Amino acid sequence: MASQPDPLLGYAVHFTRGNRPAVAAKALARPLPRALGHIELVQWLDDIDDTGFRASLSILWQGFVRPTDLPRCVGKDVAGLEEAQRSACFSESPLDELARLVETRSLYGIGFHQDFLRINRGQPVKYLQHGSADAKWWSQEVSRRCVAAVHRTDQLWRDTPFVDELDPDPAEDTSWEKEWRVPGGLKFQPDDVAFVFLPEELHDNARAFFAEHRASNTGPAYLGRYLDPRWDRGRIQKVLMEPVAAWVTSEPAPPR
């Protein structure tokens, strides 16, 4: 019998992380002032979340997947190019590796078509074996340009965000994630999102939350495909085959 195609083929997902449990517990145990402002309350809720839920909600609300705090590529140490080498990260890992991704990240993620990432300058990462001829070539080219002068328009610096040398420790090998990167981060609208990963028990609440904002014209509305990464292949494939009927952007009404 021929193997079934992977239902996640053609997509890439940004999985969120919560705070480390010890950090979240410390924040939860911290005494709070009696008068807590809105900004302080939001920050406290972010601090105590170790699930990835609030990080995912923030991304959806802002319509922006932020780049990593530090560059992660062969050009990460080039002075003056730090911003250009920072990227938003996504995974095109197949369904068989989904449980592994959830274990290292969370149950929360935002899926995009790979074509949408390409339109926004995204590409899959090229992994170089540590100490290989390719790795040495990239290291030499980066060093040579740094010694001469760093020209921001050099094509090499446009390519380096998508090239990474693997860690010599096999335990640190993340190439199985099949990473994609978008330099500078990814801006998107609700109808750019192919699906949202979150626990099934939250699907109804999430749909009601966004439907309310659509009805009151107070924010973005994500009312399309919801998936639970713990579902089996059949359930995920069934939902992904359904047409996207209601991905709607609700912008605040202009003042009268």
Asked if pLDDT for residue 246 goes beyond 50, the answer is no
* Angstrom distance (rounded) from CA 211 to CA 189: 16
Domain regions of the chain by residue span: 11-17+52-248
pLDDT digits 0-9 by tens, 108-134:
999 999 999 999 999 999 999 999 999
Q: In which band, very low, low, confident or very high, does the pLDDT at 152 lie, cut at 50, 70 and 90?
A: confident
pLDDT digits 0-9 by tens, 184-205:
999 999 999 999 999 999 999 9
Q: Please state the rounded mean pLDDT for residues 137-166.
A: 88
Q: In which band, very low, low, confident or very high, does the pLDDT at 10 lie, cut at 50, 70 and 90?
A: very high
pLDDT digits 0-9 by tens, 206-242:
999 899 988 998 889 999 999 999 999 999 999 998 8
Asked if pLDDT for residue 2 goes beyond 90, the answer is no
Q: What percent of the chain has pLDDT above 90? A: 57
- CB distance 43 to 24 below 8 Å: no
pTM equals: 0.85
Asked if pLDDT for residue 250 goes beyond 60, the answer is no
Q: What mean pLDDT is reported for the chain? A: 85
* Angstrom distance (rounded) from CA 105 to CA 112: 17
Q: Please state the rounded mean pLDDT for residues 136-149.
A: 87
